[in-house]
């Protein structure tokens, strides 16, 4: 497979057959596959409810609205994430804030989070919610985040878009256990795909019902909610919602993909062990460290390259590997360095030094289940050669 991207989907004949079957059925959307996929997801994640929607970003958007975030509320997330986490705070009319990452797990630092919450409190501002991001597939310190949530009374959200298949203390249900709700994405680079797609996972009946109402224009036909009932055609709009539905075609694919999740994650872990051996210990690189009791899901393999001491520019490394048909990526440009967030929220360079240092060094090298041992040899040798 050339070129070799940093991530890609793994689609087999069973997936294709499932999609064809959906296409031949009576339902292209809002049929039986949607509910079946939700049931399968909620079982896998150990939560009462899964609400599937058109993307991970749509899931974050609706969750913020369902949680009631509004003007005057502060919602905190990590600077080391995709912009969608900060954007969903803005969509709800709340104010985004950031707290630096832990240098080993690359996830929210609970001590810095507590300091920041106290600062907000002293200035009379309310921290309404915190979104922890399981960066690359390494769970946050969810036990610490949960106890802070209980102590300070904020809502806790798990952005588990990188972490489907991860475990904490051997528990694959940790996100639903510690957070009030978790969000997933089924974009093709993620662990399982529906083309585009996402989900809100929660044990909270009220949140699940709000998300399901908002994903379909805020319209309900459920007799238990109707103010009156004029007949079988009758529906009512109760909230300003969106068309964020996902199709049966996509959910049929999601069902067959989910069956392969364990195998996908096992292969990703195998690839990570290989890279760990090739690139560490070596003072030119820092390989990811894993906290005790963590089962990493390896959405990404973030390799830090010590460009300063190598006198090699990252752009040059990208060029050299592109010539070899290896397409690197960088995850992520810290959110606070984006022009939009600087301009509207006053963030500055230097504010989150751990995330910034990480950003200067990191590359995402190819990590997906389709890579075979020959690919891994080729990638490793090419990276070694490019930095020597
Ligand atoms: C992919 C991703 C999202 C958004 O998901 P989409 O399905 O692409 O909208 C949000 N957060 C993180 C950390 C992601 O990796």
**pLDDT 10s digits, 221-230:** 999 999 999 9
Q: Which of 57, 101, 199 to mutate to test the pocket of ligand 1 (most atoms within 8 A of CB)?
A: 57
Say if ligand 1 is within 6 A of residue 215 CB. Answer: no
Say if ligand 1 is within 6 A of residue 84 CB. Answer: yes
Say if ligand 1 is within 6 A of residue 256 CB. Answer: no
Please give the pLDDT value at position 6. 97
Q: Which of 7, 101, 133, 185 to mutate to test the pocket of ligand 1 (most atoms within 8 A of CB)?
A: 185
Q: How far apart are CA 255 and CA 252, in angstroms?
A: 5
- Residue 357's pLDDT band (cuts 50, 70, 90): very high
Contact partners, residue 30, CB within 8 Å, separation at least 6: 245, 248
> CA-CA distances (angstroms) from residue 300 to 189, 265, 286?
9, 11, 14
**Cis-peptide, bond into residue 281, ω within 30° of zero:** yes
Say if ligand 1 is within 6 A of residue 300 CB. Answer: no
Block residue for tokens 């089924």? 186
Q: How far apart are CA 229 and CA 377, in angstroms?
A: 66
Ligand 1, atom 2: closest residue by C-alpha: 161
- Residue 2's pLDDT band (cuts 50, 70, 90): confident
Block residue for tokens 């070694």? 384
Q: How far apart are CA 69 and CA 48, in angstroms?
A: 23
Question: How much distance in Å is there from the Cα of 80 to the middle of ligand 1?
Answer: 13
DSSP H or E stretch at residue 301: strand 301-305
Average pLDDT over residues 152-162: 98
Please give the pLDDT value at position 167. 98
The proportion of the chain whose per-residue pLDDT surpasses 90, expressed as a percent, equals 99
pLDDT tens digits along 189-239: 999 999 999 999 999 999 999 999 999 999 999 999 999 999 999 999 999
Residue among 164, 184, 155 nearest 57 (CA): 184
Report whether 120 contacts 90 (CB < 8 A). Answer: no
Please give the pLDDT value at position 1. 66
């Amino acid at each position: 497979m050339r070129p070799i991207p940093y991530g890609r989907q793994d689609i087999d004949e069973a997936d294709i057959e499932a999609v064809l079957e959906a296409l031949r059925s009576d339902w292209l959307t809002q049929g039986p596959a949607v509910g079946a996929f939700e049931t399968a997801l909620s079982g896998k994640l150990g939560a009462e409810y899964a609400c599937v929607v058109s993307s991970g970003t749509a899931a974050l958007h609706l969750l913020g609205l369902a949680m009631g975030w509004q003007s005057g509320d502060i919602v905190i997330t990590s600077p080391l994430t995709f912009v969608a986490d900060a954007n969903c705070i803005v969509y709800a009319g709340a104010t985004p804030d950031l707290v630096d990452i832990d240098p080993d797990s690359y996830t929210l630092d609970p001590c810095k989070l507590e300091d920041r919450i106290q600062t907000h409190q002293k200035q009379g501002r309310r921290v309404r919610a915190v979104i922890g991001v399981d960066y690359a597939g390494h769970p946050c310190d969810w036990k610490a985040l949960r106890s802070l949530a209980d102590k300070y009374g904020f809502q806790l959200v798990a952005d588990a878009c990188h972490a489907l298949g991860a475990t904490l203390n051997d528990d694959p249900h940790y996100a639903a256990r510690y957070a009030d709700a978790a969000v997933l994405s089924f974009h093709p680079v993620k662990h399982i795909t529906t083309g585009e797609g996402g989900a809100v996972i929660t044990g909270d009946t009220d949140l699940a019902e709000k998300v399901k109402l908002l994903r379909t224009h805020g319209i309900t036909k459920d007799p238990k909610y109707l103010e009156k009932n004029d007949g079988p055609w009758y529906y009512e709009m109760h909230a300003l919602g969106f068309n964020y539905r996902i199709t049966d075609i996509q959910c049929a694919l999601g069902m067959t993909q989910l069956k392969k999740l364990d195998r996908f994650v096992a292969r990703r872990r195998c690839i990570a062990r290989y890279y760990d051996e090739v690139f560490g210990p070596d003072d030119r690189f820092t390989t990811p460290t894993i906290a005790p009791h963590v089962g990493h899901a390896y959405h990404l393999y973030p390799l830090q390259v010590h460009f300063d001491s190598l006198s090699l520019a990252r752009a040059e490394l990208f060029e050299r590997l592109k010539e070899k048909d290896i397409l690197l990526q960088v995850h992520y440009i810290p959110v606070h360095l984006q022009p939009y967030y600087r301009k509207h929220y006053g963030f500055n360079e230097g504010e989150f030094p751990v995330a910034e240092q990480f950003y200067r060094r990191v590359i995402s090298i190819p990590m997906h289940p389709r890579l075979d041992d020959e690919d891994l040899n080729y990638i490793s040798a090419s990276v070694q050669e490019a930095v020597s």
